[in-house]
Chain A
Amino acid sequence: MATFRDEGVVLRTMKLGEADRIVTFVTPDHGKVRAVAKGIRKPKSKLAGQLEPITHVTMMCWKGRELDVVQQVQVIDHFKAIREDLDRMPAAFTMLEAVDLVAVERQPMPGLFKTLTGALRTLAEGTGPVLLGAFLFRLLDLEGVGPIVDSCASCSEDAPLVAFDEHAGGFLCRSCRSGQPVAPETVELVRQIVGGQLRQALAAPPSRATAEVERIATLTMEYHLDRQLRSAHLAPGPQ
C-alpha cells in the first residue's frame, strides 16, 4: 500500500467503530486529509495524546481510497498554552472550523497551512484581540475573496469608508453605505491585515474597532461559506 508523509494540524476527530477515530488534518501538500487512527480510543494507544485537535504533527499515512490510515505520528507542537486556557480555546476552535470548511481534500494548500500554524503560534504566545478577525480575513484573501479596503466596494470612489457590507465585498462610502456601520479605526485595521502589516494590526489594544474586525470577519466568512461558524456563536464561558 502506498504511504505518504506530510505535516498536519488536527482539525477534528470523530469516533469510528469500537476503538478507532477518523482524524481530519489540514496539510500543506495533501490539503485536507481524513485518516483512520486505529485503536486510538484504547487507554494504551500511543496515538491518543498525539492526535487531539489543535495539535501540529508530522505523520505518515497509508493512502486509502476514501480514508487514509494513520501509521506514525510525531508531535511538533501541542499548543499547550491554548488547550489549557478557556479564553483562547474558542478562537482556536473557530480557526479550525473555518479551515475545515475551506480546505479541499488532496489538494496542496501550503498558504492555508502556514496561515493556520502561524495563527495558532501567535494565539499560544498571547491573545491579540484582532487575531481571529485577522486570521479569517487572511483565509478569505487566500481563497480570492478578500475584502475591498482601498476604495468604496460599490462605487469605487476614494471617499472615507463608513460601513462594511459582506454582500458588497468590502467597505462602503457614505453615499453607498449599507450593512454594518464601522469606525475609521476598523477600516485602518483591516487595511493593515490584508496589506501585509499584520504585526502592527496584532499589536492593537482591545477596542471597539478590534471587536468590529472580528464581527465583520466572521460575517464575511459565514457569507462565503453559506453557513454559520458554530464555534463563533456559542455562549461565552463564565468570566
Chain B
Amino acid sequence: MFAGPIQELVDELGRLPGVGPKSAQRIAFHLLEVSKEEALRLAASIAEVKDRIRLCERCFNVAESELCAVCSDTRRDLSIVCVVEDPRDVVAVERTREFHGLYHVLGGALNPIDGIGPEQLRVRDLLVRLSDDGIVEVILCTNPNLEGEATAMYLARLLSPLGIRVTRIASGLPVGGDLEYADELTLGRALVGRREMSG
C-alpha cells in the first residue's frame, strides 16, 4: 500500500483494460516522475475526450458534434453503408482507402453466452436508417469469427427482404501469408470466395 493519492491513482489505473496491478504501479510512478505539465496534459486530454466526444446521431461512430467526420463529409457515397461492430473498425476500414460510403456501428456482435442479442445492438437504428435514406447496398463488415459471422447472417436474413443489396466482406488468406500454415476453415473460405483473373 502507498500513501493515499498514489494508491488512489494505482487503483484507478488498475481498472483500465489490460492494466494489471504491477503495470498500474509502474504507470503511477512514471506520472509521479514526469513534469507537472506533462501529467496535466494527460489529465486534460482525458477530460476533453469525456466532454467533447459523443456518438454520431446517424452512424454511432465517435463524433465531436451531432454527426461524425464521415457522415458530415459531403463527398461520401450516401448509397452504401458499411456495418461494423466497433468505432475502431471504422478506423481500420478507413485506413484501406477503398471504401467511400457511410458506416453504421452496431456496438458489438451477437454473443448469446454473454447475453448479447439483437436488442442489445443498434439493429433497430439500422433498419430506421435503411427505410429513410436512399441506401442501395449494405456491406456486412463484422469480424470473421463466430460471433461476427452470426451477426452477419442475422442481418442478411433481416435485410434481404427489404430489396437492398446485402454483401459480406471476403475472408481468406492474409497478404504475405503462407498456404502451408493456413487453417482449413480459412483456406476453405479462400477457395469458395475465389475470383476470376484475366491476364
Interface residues of A (CB under 8 A from B): 12, 17-18, 43-44, 46-50, 52-54, 75, 78, 80, 83-84, 86, 89-90, 93-94, 96-97, 100, 230-231, 234-235, 237-238
Contact = CB atoms under 8 A, between A and B. Distances in A.
Question: Among A12, A47, A90, A237, which residue has the most Cβ atoms of chain B within 10 A?
Answer: A237
A68 B146 CA distance: 23
Nearest to B181: A46
B186 A49 contact: yes
Contact of B184 (A49, A84, A97, A230): A49
Contact of B157 (A48, A50, A238): A238
Nearest to B158: A238
Interface of B: 18, 112-115, 117-119, 145-146, 149-150, 153-154, 157-158, 174, 176-177, 181-186
B82 to A, nearest CB: 18
B112 A237 contact: no
B189 to A, nearest CB: 9
A83 B153 CA distance: 10
A75 B113 CA distance: 22
Given A52-B145, A54-B146, A18 B18 contact: yes
Given A86-B157, A100-B113, 6 more contacts: A48-B145, A78-B184, A231-B112, A235-B118, A237-B154, A238-B157
Nearest to B19: A17
B146 A53 contact: yes
Given A49-B186, A78-B184, A238-B154, A83 B149 contact: yes
Given A238-B154, A238-B157, A44 B183 contact: no
Nearest to B171: A49
Contact of A46 (B115, B157, B182): B182
Contacts of A235: 117-119
Contacts of A12: 113
A90 B119 contact: no
